[in-house]
């Protein structure tokens, strides 16, 4: 049927060209494929069947792997969502765009912060727009919203090349669901509560002492203490006390549709929007970026999938996401677009090992790889699924064990769209099509640099003449408890300070022999130890020469809550709306 439709459209196009005497065969046979990108949030590489999980059911993602190419050494440019997604969108290490942090806040914290993906960064969506693509983003953004006013939308998806946006400008948090412990800056909130209680107790004590005559203090002093306490409490509670309203919102283009969002229908709305976008644009080339809110905490899962997996709430959430993938792929099939669509599935980084509720694991499984989300060097934080499908163009059912990066999507899809990469900046990604099609056997990447915030923690060297994948760790997090494999005491492993260990000489592994990074090599056990370390050291020097100073988007000032930047569907601070109503059906 699809072949007959293609022939019919081709005849109509040629006839039209002949009638107007401007026939151009290349216009009649537009070779540009549709681009469909799936990116999960916090999904571990060990969480899906085609990467070895035999207990969580992911038949639709597995089908993509059977019908396409699976990458087994696909690497995120950062172990946290904001910088990783910035690199994905721009094809550049986040440190180049200012999306790498030198402080402990490594991701955007508020919709009302002023930091975000700079307007001078060129996303793949913007380049595909220029090639005639209709571009859409459904789901999570987390690259900022405003700069100077509550509606300037300088960081908004529509200001970065997307024609249509429906989703969260921020990210899911426990704060978005009632009766969940706070996730946003939980340790700081606990301290602020404690200080507020101490001030309140001091005011109560002074008041009681003044009334009973036990303390000689003027009412003016008591009033001053009370005023300071009130100002202190309001200064922090006005933001942290209303996270659900400030951060947990849904937008359609520039308009807020839910504030706060209702999680029980969010998945249904996202699916409906993705399918609708495909239907609306079936007759022209499109880019659809489905940026899942799954499988980030609080793991809100609809009733249909609750208690269905063998891995608790986390497994339920993964299986719901896989079902959504299947429904979107079904929409492609229904419109006859499968064979003309370049489809990709990945995760923005590894699963979070520290996400727990008592004995229940709420974060992903990273397979045999050490570490997880937040860890800039260890494989578990940065090695993610990478699956490509394009029937008739890419081979089916093969696996490639070559170093690749999420940044490679940028030059790859720009190439497929017939676009040209920006010449005024460094693009760190590489076009994957020769590797995916089998015309070359090795990745173009010789070195990959693994950052934790703005701190370089590790470097990977693909020694192509030997097949070795050397990896040198210059900084590693201190696991707590010792040997636990994660930072359970902190919730996240830090990038600097007392929570890390610096290594000189660096820890060295050959991932081709030791992918779990279990046994560091030494000069005694590896004859080429010093040669490898020197080679990597020279690569770091060359890499740093390509870096130029840029404003840090995740500075303390840029990530702090600013009420004048708060997106609000009412009159601030009365921000509440539900424009979706009950128009959507449950899953």
- Residue 202 and residue 127 share a domain: no
pLDDT above 50: residue 427: yes
Residue 260: strand, helix, or coil: coil
In a domain, 519, yes or no: no
pLDDT above 80: residue 10: no
- Residue 210 and residue 106 share a domain: no
- Residue 284 and residue 225 share a domain: no
The CB density around residue 288, as the number of other CB atoms within 10 Å, is 25
CA nearest neighbour of 407 among 430, 385, 384: 430
- Residue 201 and residue 124 share a domain: no
Average pLDDT over every residue of 165-175: 97
Whether 89 and 37 have beta carbons less than 8 Å apart is answered as no
pLDDT above 90: residue 15: no
How many helices (H) and strands (E) would you count in the chain?
16, 18
- Residue 192 and residue 162 share a domain: no
356-371 per-position pLDDT tens digit? 988 889 999 999 999 9
- Residue 277 and residue 218 share a domain: no
Residue 450: strand, helix, or coil: strand
Average pLDDT, the chain: 93
In a domain, 360, yes or no: yes
- Residue 93 and residue 211 share a domain: no
Question: CB burial class (10 A; 0-12, 13-18, 19+) of residue 84?
Answer: buried
Structure tokens at 48: 């899906």
In a domain, 320, yes or no: yes
Q: Outline where DSSP puts E strands in 160-229.
A: 164-168
Structure tokens at 531: 């040669």
CA quadruple 145, 148, 153, 156: dihedral sign: negative
In a domain, 29, yes or no: no
User: Catalytic residue among 74, 142, 153, 457, which?
Assistant: 142
In a domain, 509, yes or no: no
Q: Of the candidates 194, 224, 241, which is a domain's last residue?
A: 241
How high is the pLDDT of residue 359? 83
The CATH number of the domain where 334 resides is what?
Answer: 3.40.720.10
User: Catalytic residue among 50, 74, 81, 248, which?
Assistant: 81
Average pLDDT over every residue of 102-109: 96
- Residue 383 and residue 264 share a domain: yes
How high is the pLDDT of residue 522? 97
pLDDT above 60: residue 4: no
Cα–Cα dist 505/514, whole Å: 19
Structure tokens at 46: 């060990």
Lowest-confidence region among 183-187, 256-260, 386-390: 183-187
Average pLDDT over every residue of 53-78: 98
Angle between helices 219-240 and 186-212 (to 10 degrees): 160
- Residue 45 and residue 158 share a domain: yes
Please report how many Cα atoms fall inside a 13 Å half-sphere around the Cα of residue 58, on the Cβ side. 27
How far are the Cα atoms of 253, 267, 503, 508, 583 from residue 137, in angstroms, in the given order?
Answer: 10, 15, 41, 40, 21
Backbone dihedral angles phi then psi of residue 578, each to the nearest 5 degrees:
-145, 85
CA dihedral 338, 339, 340, 344 (to 10 degrees): 60
Q: Considering its fold, how many domains does the chain have in total?
A: 2
- Residue 153 and residue 299 share a domain: yes
Average pLDDT over every residue of 21-38: 62
Whether 235 and 192 have beta carbons less than 8 Å apart is answered as no
433-460 per-position pLDDT tens digit? 999 999 999 999 999 999 999 999 999 9
- Residue 357 and residue 230 share a domain: no
Q: What is the 3-state secondary structure (H, E, C) of 317-359?
A: HHHHHHHHHHHHHHHHHHCCCHHHEEEEEEECCCCCCCCEECC
How high is the pLDDT of residue 266? 97
260-296 per-position pLDDT tens digit? 999 999 999 999 999 999 999 999 999 999 999 999 9
In a domain, 116, yes or no: yes
Residue 263 is classified by DSSP as H
Cα–Cα dist 487/435, whole Å: 37
Structure tokens at 278: 């495909």
- Residue 317 and residue 422 share a domain: yes
In a domain, 407, yes or no: yes
Q: Of the candidates 219, 241, 263, which is a domain's last residue?
A: 241
Domain interval for residue 399: 34-172+249-445+549-577
ω before 481 within 30° of 0 (cis)?
yes
Identify the bridge partners of residue 138 per DSSP, sorted by sequence position. Answer: 166, 290
In a domain, 541, yes or no: no
Buried b (16+ CB within 10 A) or exposed e, 513-533: eebebeebbeeeebebbeebb
The answer to whether 147 is a known catalytic residue is no
Structure tokens at 103: 């402080």
The answer to whether 415 is a known catalytic residue is no
| Residue 445 CB contacts under 8 Å (≥ 6 apart), including other chains | 403, 404, 405, 430, 462
300-329 per-position pLDDT tens digit? 999 999 999 999 999 999 999 999 999 999
Cα–Cα dist 355/275, whole Å: 32
């Amino acid at each position: 049927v699809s072949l007959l439709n293609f022939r019919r459209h081709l005849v109509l196009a040629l006839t039209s060209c002949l009638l107007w005497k401007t026939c151009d065969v290349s216009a009649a046979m537009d070779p540009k494929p549709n681009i469909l990108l799936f990116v999960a949030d916090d999904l571990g590489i060990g969480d899906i069947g085609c990467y070895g999980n035999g207990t969580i059911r992911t038949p639709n993602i597995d089908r993509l792997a059977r019908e396409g190419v699976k990458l087994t050494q696909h690497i995120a440019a950062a172990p946290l969502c904001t910088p990783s997604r910035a690199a994905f969108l721009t094809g550049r290490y986040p440190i180049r765009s200012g999306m790498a942090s030198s402080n402990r806040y490594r991701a955007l914290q508020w919709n009302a912060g002023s930091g975000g993906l700079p307007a001078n960064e060129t996303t793949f969506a913007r380049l595909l727009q220029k090639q005639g693509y209709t571009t859409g983003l459904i789901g999570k953004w987390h690259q900022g919203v405003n700069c100077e006013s509550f509606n300037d939308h300088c960081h908004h998806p529509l200001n970065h090349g997307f024609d249509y946006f429906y989703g969260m400008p921020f990210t899911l948090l426990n704060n978005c669901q009632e009766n969940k412990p706070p996730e946003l800056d939980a340790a700081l909130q606990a301290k602020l509560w404690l200080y507020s209680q101490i001030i309140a107790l001091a005011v109560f004590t002074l008041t009681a002492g003044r009334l009973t005559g036990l303390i000689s203090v003027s009412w003016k002093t008591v009033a001053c203490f009370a005023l300071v306490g009130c100002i202190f409490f309001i200064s922090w509670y006005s933001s942290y006390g209303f996270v659900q309203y400030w951060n947990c919102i849904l937008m359609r283009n520039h308009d807020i549709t839910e504030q706060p969002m209702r999680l029980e229908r969010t998945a249904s709305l996202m699916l409906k929007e993705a399918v609708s976008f495909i239907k609306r644009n079936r007759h022209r080339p499109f880019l659809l970026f489905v940026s899942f809110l799954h499988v980030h905490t609080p793991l809100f899962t609809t009733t249909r999938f609750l208690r269905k997996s063998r891995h608790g709430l986390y497994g339920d959430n993964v299986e719901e996401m896989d079902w959504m993938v299947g429904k979107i792929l079904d929409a492609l099939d229904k419109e006859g677009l499968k064979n003309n669509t370049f489809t990709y599935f990945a995760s923005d980084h590894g699963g979070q090992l520290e996400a727990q509720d008592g004995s229940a694991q709420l974060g992903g499984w990273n397979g045999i790889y050490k570490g997880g989300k937040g860890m800039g060097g260890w494989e578990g934080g940065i090695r993610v699924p990478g699956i490509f499908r394009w029937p008739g163009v890419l081979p089916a059912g093969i696996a490639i064990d070559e170093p690749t990066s999420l940044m490679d999507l940028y030059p790859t899809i720009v190439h497929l769209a017939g676009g040209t990469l920006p010449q005024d900046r460094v693009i760190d990604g590489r076009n994957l099509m020769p590797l995916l099609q089998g015309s070359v056997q090795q990745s173009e990447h010789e070195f990959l640099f693994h950052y934790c915030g703005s701190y370089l923690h590790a470097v990977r060297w693909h020694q192509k003449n030997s097949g070795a994948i050397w990896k040198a760790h210059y900084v590693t997090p201190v696991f707590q408890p010792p040997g636990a494999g994660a930072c359970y005491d902190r919730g996240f492993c830090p990038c600097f300070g007392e929570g890390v260990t610096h290594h000189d000489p660096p820890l060295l592994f050959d991932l081709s022999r030791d992918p779990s990074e279990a046994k560091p090599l030494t000069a005694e056990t590896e004859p080429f130890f010093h040669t490898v370390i020197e080679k990597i050291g020279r690569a770091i020097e060359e890499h740093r020469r390509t870096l130029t100073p840029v404003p840090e988007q995740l500075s303390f000032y840029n990530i702090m809550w600013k009420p004048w930047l708060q997106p609000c569907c009412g009159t601030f601070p009365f921000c509440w709306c539900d424009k979706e109503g009950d128009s959507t059906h449950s899953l």
